[in-house]
Amino acid sequence: MMPRRRRLMLVLLILLAVGVAAALTLNAFRGNLVFFYGPSQLAGVEKVHERNVRLGGLVEQGSVKREDDGLTVHFKVTDNVTTVPVTYKGILPDLFREGQGVVAQGRLNAGGEFMAEEVLAKHDENYMPPEVAEALKQASETGGKMPQFTGTLMMQGGVNK
């Protein structure tokens, strides 16, 4: 019986050691594992004008302006506290629209404008048919978060047409 217990302890010990090591490593790398900075965080980034960073947030409503060349776009990225103006020249992903999440990679210039080299669309975790989205929008014109479909599998009524 003894070797079995020893092996069991060994396995548990390995798990514990790896768990602690991973927790420490991930904690140490916390800053580097960030895929993007929010508009409010951007100003606090070290040497922000000298290096490429990613900026993530929502495209502000009514802020998208296209230049006549058809490629250059100006828009503002916001987290509802801070807003950063962005300029991008290139093709935008299909999901890019006002009010949607984006992640832009580029550099913040001295004038406080973010010159993006790449713009990615970020979508949220909500999935629903268009007519449901429409119904929800009408129900709460005040905006705010999309409600959760709680109770889910059993729920057939509600906003479902």
- The footprint of other proteins (CB under 8 A) covers 4, 7-8, 11, 14-15, 18-19, 22, 26, 30, 33-38, 56, 92-96, 100, 103, 118-134, 146, 148-153, 155-156, 160
**By C-beta, is 142 or 148 nearer to other proteins?**
148
| Count of alpha carbons within 13 angstroms of residue 139, beta-carbon side | 12
User: If 0-12 CB within 10 Å is exposed, 13-18 middle and 19+ buried, where does residue 8 land?
Assistant: exposed
Cβ 144 to other proteins, closest distance in Å? 14
CA distance 126 to 123: 8
Q: Which is nearer to other proteins, 92 or 111 (CB)?
A: 92
CB 49 to other proteins: min, Å? 21
C-beta of residue 120 within 8 angstroms of C-beta of residue 83: no
Could you tell me the smallest distance in angstroms from the CB atom of residue 103 to other proteins? 6
**Minimum distance between the CB of residue 134 and other proteins, rounded to whole angstroms?**
8
Residues 6+ apart with CB under 8 A from 139: 159
For 88-104, the three-class secondary structure string (H helix, E strand, C coil) is EECCCCCCCCCCCEEEE
| Nearest distance in Å: CB 107, other proteins | 18
Tally the C-alpha atoms within 13 A of residue 47's C-alpha that lie toward its C-beta: 3
